[in-house]
Each structure stands twice: as C-alpha cells, then as structure tokens.
Amino acid sequence: MFGLSIGHLVIVLVVVLLFGSRRLPELGSALGKGMRAFKKGLSGEEELEASEGHKELKKPKDPDEVLPPK
C-alpha cells in the first residue's frame, strides 16, 4: 500500500491523534519554515534581523544606574 509498512501507519495514526487533523497543516507549515530558515542559516544567505529591543542603538548605562546603592 503505497510503500508504507504497518510501522509507518502507526506513526501517522499517533501523530494525527496527538495533534488532531486541524492542526496538521499548521504543524507542517511551521516545520517547513523552520527547515528553510535552518538551511539559510547554514549557507549564510541571510543575516539575522535585530529584535525589537535591539533595533535602536542605545548608549551603555552607567554602572551606578544599574547597581543598587550600598
């Protein structure tokens, strides 16, 4: 049957039972995006984007501002 063994069918059945049939497309999409990003990272195609907190260049804080008074 399409080259699938009983073991393959059991694995597919367990995945469908765990995640449900409605979430399988979302799971596949997320897995594909993750694999694509991983391959791009390995090949060095794309530089990482700065997160929201790191987009602005901020002046380093004075240690007296950060540390509590003695």
Domain count, the chain: 1
How many angstroms separate the CA atoms of 70 and 63, rounded?
13
Report pTM.
0.43
Structural domain that includes position 29: 1-44
How many angstroms separate the CA atoms of 55 and 12, rounded?
43
Query: What digits encode the pLDDT tens for the residues 4-59?
Result: 889 998 998 898 888 888 888 888 899 899 999 888 888 876 555 656 655 555 66
What lies within 8 Å, CB to CB, of 5 at 6+ separation is none
Tokens at residue 22, please? 């409605």
What lies within 8 Å, CB to CB, of 46 at 6+ separation is 40
- Tell whether 64 is covered by a domain: no
- Tell whether 13 is covered by a domain: yes
- Tell whether 54 is covered by a domain: no
Q: How many residues does the chain have?
A: 70
